[in-house]
């Protein structure tokens, strides 16, 4: 039997229909007053109705409306984890996820939005893979399946023994979002199943076969070999950029920005003010960044410390974009949203992304 | 069981061609005679309206792509489109040159020549497929090709495997530009995929590089190619059928709510909302090409097959999408 966890956030997505942009914290009460109805049941039912081969699966499920209610009538084997009260909270999600981990689930499926994803991340981190069924209002995190059907396809791939890939969880400031400002930072990474290429035979992709992890190391080595003396390298967030620090044997803040000078750590987890101070002192700087998976943002999501002023001081020609081949193939273009239209315009146009040793991809920034 | 994954003609070429191939088997104990190769060069020269000295024959165009990239790999950079024909991609990855892939963005999938011109300050080999596989789009115009060729740093190879479907070729330019080579095949529009005859068309400067490259051509393939080029009416009929079926398929796919990109070839690039779509179709006995090495797994490349095959494919698509 494959042990799969299932947690549903019953209130996720309720804010959308009544124009509230999210239900984090106390806002969901307002949503209910405005007549919002749960959209999660239809999402989760749609997902579950796709699963035909039920006999090999054992669901460890959150109680009542957090999961149990949807499985009850569908002839699945399941075990209910813990108890919940009338009103459910983020703490319920975290506590139940933790218990499921202790009971050795191999995959956790959850239904919710960015807020739920953060709660799941707080507990699961990169320990086991997850599948996110989208039902929230805010779903900027790239790891969400595009719809319940696609979430089922990911489950299918997982059960089929697919590879896993890391994908970003974003933290969007709901208050700001309600005022039509998008303020986000990178919250962390979750592992998701990767859909395998299906080839009947004949001409296949070959050449440099490499895993995501190998590709990151290749990129890191290339960047390090190319590092100039007396230039400060501002390493942005994310695991691709972090691999550069790993190869240099220096500790890196996964979600923050670190400064590296002559292959040594200069400052860790720095803000705009500190970056500008370093630039005043050392004069020459380069920014190393990686696009956000699925969305392609290189500035404005997850790395707000690189403000328009920082970008202007460093100069477009000193921006180094790195990406694994797998992440880049899913992007039609790169994007910028620095909050300053002039800076965005300077950054727009084609840019070279380093995807491997002696390999670059020219892609448009929009 | 429809095989719509390799852009093949869905039925065999006419009986007369098959008979010519069959007849050639009586001499299969012998190497291909030079007169037969010369005759193939003559008919190709006539078909392309070009001197036979410009033709390099090969047992399939895949070999020519690999050889071309190998021969010019001393150039400091290699530029290809992304996506591109898988053989171009694979050969480029094995080359020792610096590789610059150029993303063709949806929905136009154009090769951004104005941007590339800024990258040509060093010797560069550019390899493009036009129409492009798997998008089915013409990605570069004649004016843009000329702009690239006017740069002395450039050697340009254009794979025109689907020329007969698109009707667009840059072949006349090889007389003026010694840095241009065109690649063709009889595997697609002539329906000789199993026979594997490809050829390169280029001026003297490029031809010289291929001197000494003696590729043995199987005699049944040579005989089949000569026969096919002498009876090319069937090829024109096939193209007419492809165009009619393509129109119908595009309409029906659009009605299903999936995105179907306009194509200048005998295949369509289709974007759905269903992951693993190629696998799901295979489970229903329909084989299409999974392009998830370039896109997500919700994209497929589907060959325009026979009317019945196309109907079966559309019915399967509907069942999967409306499930």
DSSP code of residue A231: -
- Among residues B273, B285, B11, which one has the least CA distance to residue A200? B285
Tens of pLDDT, residues B75-121: 779 999 999 999 999 999 988 899 999 999 999 999 999 999 999 99
Cis peptide upstream of residue B83 (ω within 30 degrees of 0): yes
pLDDT band, residue A351 (cuts 50/70/90): very high
Evaluate whether B209 touches B71 at the Cβ level (below 8 Å).
yes
| pLDDT at residue A206 in the model | 56
Q: Which residue of A has its CA nearest to B101?
A: A361
Q: Which residue of B has its CA nearest to A357?
A: B98
A86 or B312, which is more confident? Answer: B312
DSSP code of residue B221: H
Complex ipTM value? 0.91
For residue A133, is pLDDT > 70? yes
Give the percent of chain B with pLDDT over 90: 87
A301 or A343, which is more confident? Answer: A343
Average pLDDT over residues A230-256: 91
Quote the CA–CA distance of A69 and A91 in Å, as a whole number.
20
Quote the CA–CA distance of A196 and A329 in Å, as a whole number.
14
Report pTM: 0.83
Element (H, E) at B100: strand B98-103
DSSP code of residue A334: B
Average pLDDT over residues B164-182: 97
Per DSSP bridges, beta strands A107-112 and A130-134 are parallel
Q: Any bridge partners for residue A61, and if so which?
A: A6, A80
A338 or B240, which is more confident? Answer: B240
Best of A152, A158, A200, A296 to substitute, by most chain B Cβ atoms within 10 angstroms, is A200
| pLDDT at residue A184 in the model | 63
Evaluate whether A331 touches A363 at the Cβ level (below 8 Å).
yes
DSSP code of residue A153: H
Tens of pLDDT, residues B189-214: 999 999 999 999 998 889 989 888 87
| pLDDT at residue A183 in the model | 60
| Closest-CA distance of chain B to residue A240, Å | 20
Give the percent of chain A with pLDDT over 90: 50
Average pLDDT over residues A287-307: 88
Per DSSP bridges, beta strands A285-289 and A319-322 are parallel
For residue B247, is pLDDT > 60? yes
Cis peptide upstream of residue B107 (ω within 30 degrees of 0): yes
| pLDDT at residue A37 in the model | 64
Best of B92, B100, B103, B118 to substitute, by most chain A Cβ atoms within 10 angstroms, is B103
| pLDDT at residue B215 in the model | 83
pLDDT band, residue A316 (cuts 50/70/90): very high
| pLDDT at residue A339 in the model | 81
| pLDDT at residue B117 in the model | 96
Tens of pLDDT, residues A79-116: 999 999 888 889 999 999 999 999 999 999 999 888 89
The A-side interface with B (CB below 8 A) comprises: 50, 145-147, 149-150, 153-154, 156-157, 195-200, 202-208, 328-330, 332-333, 349-350, 352, 355, 358-364
Mean pLDDT, chain B, rounded, equals 95
């150029």: which residue's tokens? B102
* SS3 state at A332: coil
Q: In what order do the strands lie in the sheet with B259-260?
A: B3-4, B287-290, B299-303, B267-271, B259-260
Average pLDDT over residues A236-249: 92
Tens of pLDDT, residues B2-11: 899 999 999 9
Residue A151, both tokens: 């979430």
Average pLDDT over residues B254-272: 95
| pLDDT at residue B9 in the model | 97
Q: Is B86 on the interface with A (CB under 8 A)?
A: yes
Quote the CA–CA distance of A98 and B26 in Å, as a whole number.
74
A172 or B260, which is more confident? Answer: B260
| pLDDT at residue A114 in the model | 82
Q: Is B295 on the interface with A (CB under 8 A)?
A: yes
Residue B10, both tokens: 């869905």
CB contact under 8 A, A207 and B119: no
Average pLDDT over residues B243-258: 96
Best of B60, B104, B276 to substitute, by most chain A Cβ atoms within 10 angstroms, is B276
DSSP readout, A60-121?
A: EE-SGGGTHHHHHTTT-EEEE-S---SS--HHHHHHHHHHHHHTT-SEEEEEE-HHHHHHHH
| pLDDT at residue A229 in the model | 95
- In chain A, DSSP assigns E strands to 2-8, 57-61, 77-80, 107-112, 130-134, 164-172, 184-193, 232-235, 258-261, 264-267, 285-289, 297-299, 319-322, 335-336, 349-356, 359-365
For residue A18, is pLDDT > 60? no
Average pLDDT over residues A41-69: 89
| Closest-CA distance of chain A to residue B53, Å | 31
Evaluate whether A312 touches A263 at the Cβ level (below 8 Å).
no
| pLDDT at residue B42 in the model | 97
DSSP readout, B25-86?
A: GGGTTSPPPHHHHHHHHHHHHHHHTS-GGGEEEESSHHHHHHHHHHHTTTSSEEEEEES--H
Average pLDDT over residues A125-132: 93
Lowest mean pLDDT among A266-275, B152-161, B171-180, B292-301: B292-301
For residue A15, is pLDDT > 80? no
Tens of pLDDT, residues B12-56: 999 999 999 999 999 999 999 999 999 999 999 999 999 999 999
Length of chain B in terms of residues written: 323
* Residue B21 CA to its chain's centroid (Å): 23
Q: 3-class secondary structure for B177-220? A: CCCEEEEEECCCCCCCCCCCCEEEEECHHHHHHCCCCCCCCCHH
* SS3 state at A32: helix
CB contact under 8 A, B102 and A149: no
Residue B289, both tokens: 């090409």
| pLDDT at residue A245 in the model | 94
pLDDT band, residue A238 (cuts 50/70/90): confident
Among A154, A202, A204, beta carbon nearest to B275: A154
Q: How far is CA A226 from CA A158, A222, A320, B280, in A?
A: 38, 6, 11, 45
For residue B303, is pLDDT > 70? yes
Evaluate whether A230 touches A191 at the Cβ level (below 8 Å).
no
Evaluate whether A302 touches A184 at the Cβ level (below 8 Å).
yes
For residue A20, is pLDDT > 60? no
For residue A70, is pLDDT > 70? yes
Best of A152, A156, A195, A198 to substitute, by most chain B Cβ atoms within 10 angstroms, is A198
Q: Any bridge partners for residue A164, and if so which?
A: A193
- Which phi and psi (to 5°) does residue A248 adopt? -85, -5
Give the percent of chain B with pLDDT over 70: 100
For residue A23, is pLDDT > 60? no
For residue A205, is pLDDT > 80? no
For residue A201, is pLDDT > 70? no
CB contact under 8 A, A207 and B89: yes
Q: How far is CA A29 from CA A15, A20, A90, A230, in A?
A: 10, 11, 15, 55
Q: How far is CA B12 from CA A180, A342, B23, in A?
A: 61, 60, 17
Evaluate whether B61 touches B185 at the Cβ level (below 8 Å).
yes
Among A202, A206, A362, beta carbon nearest to B5: A202
């Amino acid at each position: 039997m494959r042990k799969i966890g299932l947690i549903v956030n019953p209130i996720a997505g309720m804010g959308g229909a009544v124009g509230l942009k999210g239900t984090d914290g106390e806002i969901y009460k307002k949503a209910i007053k405005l007549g919002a109805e749960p959209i999660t049941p239809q999402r989760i039912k749609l997902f579950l109705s796709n699963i035909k081969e039920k006999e090999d699966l054992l669901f460890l499920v959150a109680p009542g409306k957090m999961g149990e209610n949807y499985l009850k009538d569908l002839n699945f084997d399941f075990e209910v984890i813990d108890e919940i009260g009338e009103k459910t909270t983020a703490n319920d999600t975290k506590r139940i996820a933790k218990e499921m981990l202790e009971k050795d689930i191999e995959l956790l499926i959850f239904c919710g939005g960015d807020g739920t994803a953060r709660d799941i991340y707080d507990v699961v981190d990169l320990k086991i893979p997850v599948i996110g069924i989208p039902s929230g209002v805010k779903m900027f995190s790239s790891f969400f399946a595009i719809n319940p059907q696609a979430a089922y396809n990911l489950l299918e791939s997982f059960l089929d023994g697919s590879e896993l890939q890391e994908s970003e969880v974003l933290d969007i400031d709901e208050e700001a979002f309600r005022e039509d400002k998008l303020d986000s930072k990178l919250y962390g990474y979750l592992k998701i199943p990767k859909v395998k290429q299906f080839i009947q035979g004949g001409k296949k992709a070959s050449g440099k076969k490499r895993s995501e992890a190998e590709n990151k190391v290749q990129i890191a080595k290339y960047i390090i070999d190319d590092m100039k003396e007396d230039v400060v390298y501002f390493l942005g967030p994310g695991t691709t950029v972090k691999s550069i620090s790993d190869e240099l044997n220096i500790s890196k803040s996964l979600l923050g920005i670190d400064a590296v000078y002559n292959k040594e750590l200069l400052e860790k987890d720095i803000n705009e003010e500190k970056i500008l101070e370093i630039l005043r002192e050392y004069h020459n700087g380069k920014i190393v960044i990686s696009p956000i998976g699925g969305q392609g943002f290189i500035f404005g999501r997850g790395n707000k410390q690189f403000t328009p002023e920082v970008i202007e001081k460093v100069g477009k020609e000193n921006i180094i974009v790195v990406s694994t081949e797998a992440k880049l193939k899913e992007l039609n273009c790169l994007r910028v949203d620095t909050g300053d239209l002039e800076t965005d315009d300077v950054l727009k146009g084609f840019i070279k992304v380093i995807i491997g040793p002696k390999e670059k991809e020219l892609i448009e920034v929009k | 069981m429809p095989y719509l994954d390799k852009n093949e003609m869905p039925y065999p070429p006419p009986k007369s061609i098959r008979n010519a191939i069959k007849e050639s088997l009586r001499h299969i104990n012998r190497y291909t005679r030079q007169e037969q190769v010369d005759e193939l060069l003559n008919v190709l020269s006539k078909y392309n309206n070009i001197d036979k000295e410009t033709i390099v024959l090969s047992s399939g165009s895949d070999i020519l792509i690999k050889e071309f990239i190998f021969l010019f790999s001393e150039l400091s950079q290699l530029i290809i489109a992304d996506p591109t024909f898988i053989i171009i991609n694979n050969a480029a990855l094995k080359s020792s040159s610096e590789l610059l892939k150029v993303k063709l963005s949806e929905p136009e999938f154009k090769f951004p020549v104005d941007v590339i011109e800024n990258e040509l300050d060093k010797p560069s080999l550019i390899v493009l497929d036009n129409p492009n596989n798997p998008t089915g789009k013409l990605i570069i115009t004649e004016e843009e090709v000329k702009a690239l060729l006017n740069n002395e740093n450039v050697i340009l190879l254009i794979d025109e495997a689907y020329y007969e479907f698109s009707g667009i070729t840059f072949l006349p330019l090889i007389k003026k530009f010694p840095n241009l080579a065109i690649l063709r095949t009889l595997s697609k529009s002539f329906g000789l995929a199993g026979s594997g005859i490809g050829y390169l068309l280029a001026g003297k400067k490029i031809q010289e590089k291929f001197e000494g490259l003696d590729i043995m051509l199987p005699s049944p393939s040579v005989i089949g190619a000569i026969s096919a080029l002498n009876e090319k009416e069937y090829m024109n009929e096939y193209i007419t059928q492809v165009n009619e079926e393509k129109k119908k398929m595009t309409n029906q796919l659009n009605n299903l709510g999936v995105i179907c990109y306009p194509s200048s070839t005998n295949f369509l690039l289709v974007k759905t909302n269903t992951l693993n779509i190629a696998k799901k179709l295979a489970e229903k006995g329909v084989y299409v090409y999974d392009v998830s090495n370039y896109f997500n797994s919700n994209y497929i490349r589907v060959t325009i097959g026979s009317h019945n095959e196309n109907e079966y494919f559309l019915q399967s698509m509907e069942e999967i999408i409306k499930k």
